[in-house]
Structure 1
Amino acid sequence: MAELTPLSAETLGTLCADFESNAANRLAMNAVTAAGIDKVARNYDRARLLQRRFSVTVDNGTVTHQDRSGRCWLFSSLNVARFVAKKNMGLKEFEFSQNYAMYFDKLERINYFLKDMAALVEAGEPADSRLVQHLLADVMGDGGQWTMAMNVYKKYGAVPKDLFPETESSKNTGPMNTQLRSMLHTEVARMFADPSKIDEIVAEGVAAGHRILTIHLGEPPKSFDWEWTDEKGEFHRDGEITPVEFWNKYVDAGLEDYVCLVDDPRAEHPKGKKIAIEHLGNVAGGDPTEYLNVPNRFMKDCVRRILSEQGIPVWFGADCHPMMDRESGAWAADLFEYGRVYGFDFDLDKEQRVRFGDSAMNHAMAFVGVDVDEDGTTTRRWRVENSWGDKIADKGYFTMSDDWFTEFVYEVAVPKSMLPEEYRKALEEPAISLPAWDPMGALA
């Protein structure tokens, strides 16, 4: 075993001398300390050549804004749904209540977590095990997956945003999540202290969670009168309708039956097989969070076909941070030349980045455009609807190079009907089960 030795004064002196001996190091220091690394490392030629023109564009109107919350997966799934709803109602602008979706996701997740933990306690799992400690640390975040969003919409439907608007806590979820997390930690401690009272503890925890959520987010409507004026100026009245009825009537594109495709680049996880993350879910009894592992090229082909043939946005999950120019709204695999500034070769490939903790999907958005070459199949760049407001990028819309898709997009949701027979058969087979801390579950 290698010995842990201190950094010596001699070694430090050598490092300083080596730094000083290279004029490029001092030039880089002068530039980065004054302007910041991204302005210095920005690849001018790559940035100016990344155009915002697309051969196929799906117009989804004004972008949404998730504010200081991690609700990207809900915003992006509702952005797909609102496109369908707008078309059905003849509206140019429309937005679903993300607050409503989050309310029921968190309520269901409280129940899911408490019952999951109760099962672990009853099975004799130690409180200090890696699994229990991971679940305790990760509880009550804002993240989620496409299937989890569909579980909420199928059970609770959706409502227009003006009927259940944002609150201070939905726009800035940190303080509310802290209280929910502390409450759940308290209930789990009680479970371990007295397993004979687990059922009572679960019931009390769900009730406490309901109170906390309602105090922070408001009381969601059980039904509402729906009326609207379409973009032609014609008035429509639908009468009283429940949120589930509203969803089923106006979001009739079969989104609930979509399949999640992932590009898990690790060699031990074969393509064409289904994978799942243990203990990942929100609605007990809902659809499990599972993915079909496929080549990245197949994911691209599916997205291209949906945009060009069906004309509907496509939900996806990616690692949004690498090589991102947030203000101009651009992603390209070589958009920043960090290695040239530092004199270091950042040479990890996609599989190594996932395996060694350098990359995982952390943000969900929607594809709303693609530029396709003259051959009709080769993709060049992509248009992305983000949920960070309209003050950045192209009024909130981002441009993604095709090579960035290859390197940093991990998941897309597509209709099951698009899959070839071999992939449909794979969906019927048991999933390869991955531990709760696996990076393929990072978005949630």
Structure 2
Amino acid sequence: MVKSISNEQVKHMEQKYLANREHLLSQRAVMKNGILASSENQKAVIENNPVFSIDLDTGNVTNQKQSGRCWMFAALNTFRHDVLNNHHIKDFELSQNYTFFWDKFEKANYFYENIIKTSNQELTSREVAFLLATPQQDGGQWDMLVAIIQKYGIVPKTIMPETKSSSSSRELNTYLNKKLRKDALTLRTLIANGASESEIETRKVELLQEIYNLLSTSLGTPPTEFDYSYYDTDGNYHLEQGLTPTSFYDKYIGTDLNDYVSIINAPTKDKPYNQVYTVDMLGNVVGGKEVRHLNVDIETFKNLAIAQLKDGESVWFGCDVGQSSTRDTGIMATDIYSVQDTLDINYDMSKAERLDYGESLMTHAMVLTGVNLINDKPTKWKVENSWGDKVGTKGYFVMSDDWMSEYTYQVVVNKKYLSDDLKKVLKKDDVTVLAPWDPMGALA
């Protein structure tokens, strides 16, 4: 039986609220200052000061501006660290716009292929509705960037600099998604009318040409060959001629990206530890590197990140950055805000419960560049963000170890740090395919 809220119930609630002095104290503070400002815990700020026992020198932070390319910035920053250390180049950045172009282009083809694959389903099916809700977006995964680099290489930022549409991508995404939805209609209509495979492929290539045109107009045309000049930190001039994006990657970075594996901590019942997972309809390059996650317990998760940091290499990671964190001071700590005390409401859920009930998922990628160890146990972590140097400590954040446990879901490490048992798991052919809307399919 459906029951509405009675006037008597509302009156009783009002009287009960007004009879509580703590509610009235919180009311005065929150009405004047807002919920978070009234709840900030200075003890957490003091405990999470930016001093670490392992602290890598990674230079100035980058700025993704008004775009959702954190995953891309974070990955390119890990490569940038190697270039800064190995080649001693001043103020060096890799071109986020270059990889952005090819990611958008490949995502369009990936979308077309999924539209073709699901053409026998009704528009109201969950899969088709999922595809059409967001045909493409800025976000992505580590393995998706690997797929782009392995196919297209990489270039310095000076060779393909930022544009208005790369730094502020809302307009581009709006009109790109308009086109992709129209193209989905075109392809589904062709198939419904009995077009042959060759006819469908011919039309798809024509649509991709239009995508290329749109992206070139907005982002610029990606270089295929270029000269690169720079001064090193000793003031010496260098000139490299006739480089390609692939040869530049091979010479200046050279990392075998197949050596790196995505490690997740998802303690939900449907994802047993020590197994490999992929996500249906998640990717960009058709036939490229597949998104794969190895799920492990949180202690193993942290130890793998620490091992890589101890060897002087930064760590790409994904988390739910909006949970219990400050943007201005750059503190990520479970106790930075005492909102439950301020509002007298219990929000407690376990990490697994938050994932299962949609309260949390991966929303942002950054780079671990340090950790504080006491008796070989982590107490806090140093984080390189990509929001410019006006936030945190010149762009660097501090993450408490408790926050790491609760809101960090993914790290990328060299598989050499894995135990022999986990290496064997990676070699197995049985990979569990998760639904497209699974929280482990969330894009950073």
Shift of 1:180: 0.7
Q: Does 2:277 match 1:254?
A: no
Identity of paired residues, percent?
36
Structure 2 unpaired stretches of 5+: none
Match of 2:204 among 202, 205, 211: 202
Which deviates more, 42-51 or 28-37?
42-51
State whether residues 111 and 136 of structure 2, in contact with CA within 8 Å, keep that contact through their aligned partners in structure 1.
no
Match of 1:82 among 80, 84, 94: 80
Distance 1:53 1:88 in 2: 25
Distance 2:10 2:188 in 1: 50
Q: How does 1:177-256 map to 2 (within 5 A)?
A: 177-195=173-191, 196=195, 198-256=200-258
**Aligned alpha-carbon RMSD (Å):** 1.2
Distance 1:288 1:136 in 2: 22
Shift of 1:207: 1.4
Shift of 1:198: 3.0
Shift of 1:88: 2.4
State whether residues 316 and 413 of structure 1, in contact with CA within 8 Å, keep that contact through their aligned partners in structure 2.
yes
Aligned to 2:147: 151
Distance 1:162 1:395 in 2: 23
Aligned to 2:408: 409
Shift of 1:276: 0.9
Distance 1:203 1:371 in 2: 52
- Which TM-score applies when normalising by structure 1? 0.96
Q: How does 1:208-357 map to 2 (within 5 A)?
A: 208-309=210-311, 311-357=312-358
Shift of 1:323: 0.8
For residues 31-82 of structure 1, give each alpha carbon's deviation from its aligned partner in whole angstroms, at most 9, with x where no partner exists: 1111111111111222222221001111111100000110000000000011
Distance 2:409 2:47 in 1: 25
Distance 2:417 2:32 in 1: 51
Q: Partner amino acid for 2:212?
A: H
For residues 111-132 of structure 1, give each alpha carbon's deviation from its aligned partner in whole angstroms, at most 9, with x where no partner exists: 11101211111xx122210111
Q: Partner amino acid for 1:15?
A: M
Aligned to 1:173: 169
Distance 1:352 1:285 in 2: 35
2:158 is paired with a residue whose SS is: helix
Aligned to 1:37: 35
Aligned to 2:434: 434
Q: Partner amino acid for 1:402?
A: D
Distance 2:186 2:223 in 1: 33
2:118 is paired with a residue whose SS is: helix
For residues 315-366 of structure 1, give each alpha carbon's deviation from its aligned partner in whole angstroms, at most 9, with x where no partner exists: 0000101110110010111111111011111110101000000000110000
State whether residues 103 and 284 of structure 2, in contact with CA within 8 Å, keep that contact through their aligned partners in structure 1.
yes
Distance 1:351 1:391 in 2: 34
Distance 1:407 1:439 in 2: 15
Distance 1:63 1:419 in 2: 29
State whether residues 118 and 127 of structure 2, in contact with CA within 8 Å, keep that contact through their aligned partners in structure 1.
no
Aligned to 2:124: 128
1:324 is paired with a residue whose SS is: coil
Which deviates more, 248-257 or 133-142?
248-257
1:367 is paired with a residue whose SS is: strand
For residues 139-184 of structure 1, give each alpha carbon's deviation from its aligned partner in whole angstroms, at most 9, with x where no partner exists: 2211000000111111111111111111111011111101110111
1:285 is paired with a residue whose SS is: coil
Q: Partner amino acid for 1:385?
A: E
Q: Partner amino acid for 2:179?
A: M
State whether residues 277 and 294 of structure 2, in contact with CA within 8 Å, keep that contact through their aligned partners in structure 1.
yes
Aligned to 2:48: 50
Distance 2:224 2:188 in 1: 37
Shift of 1:390: 0.2
CA distance 1:48–1:125, shift in 2 (3 Å): same
Distance 2:2 2:268 in 1: 31
State whether residues 115 and 188 of structure 2, in contact with CA within 8 Å, keep that contact through their aligned partners in structure 1.
no
State whether residues 187 and 201 of structure 1, in contact with CA within 8 Å, keep that contact through their aligned partners in structure 2.
no
Misfit runs of 4+, over 6 Å: none
State whether residues 84 and 253 of structure 1, in contact with CA within 8 Å, keep that contact through their aligned partners in structure 2.
no
Distance 1:217 1:253 in 2: 27
1:437 is paired with a residue whose SS is: coil
Shift of 1:256: 4.1
State whether residues 94 and 154 of structure 2, in contact with CA within 8 Å, keep that contact through their aligned partners in structure 1.
yes
Distance 1:367 1:409 in 2: 11
Match of 1:13 among 11, 29, 32: 11
Q: How does 1:93-132 map to 2 (within 5 A)?
A: 93-121=91-119, 124-132=120-128
State whether residues 61 and 92 of structure 1, in contact with CA within 8 Å, keep that contact through their aligned partners in structure 2.
no
Distance 1:411 1:26 in 2: 41
Q: Partner amino acid for 1:440?
A: M
For residues 173-225 of structure 1, give each alpha carbon's deviation from its aligned partner in whole angstroms, at most 9, with x where no partner exists: 11110111011101111222230253244223211211111111011111111
State whether residues 225 and 239 of structure 1, in contact with CA within 8 Å, keep that contact through their aligned partners in structure 2.
yes
Distance 1:104 1:256 in 2: 20
Distance 2:69 2:306 in 1: 26
Structure 1 unpaired stretches of 5+: none
For residues 400-420 of structure 1, give each alpha carbon's deviation from its aligned partner in whole angstroms, at most 9, with x where no partner exists: 111100001100001111111
1:6 is paired with a residue whose SS is: coil
Q: Partner amino acid for 1:443?
A: L
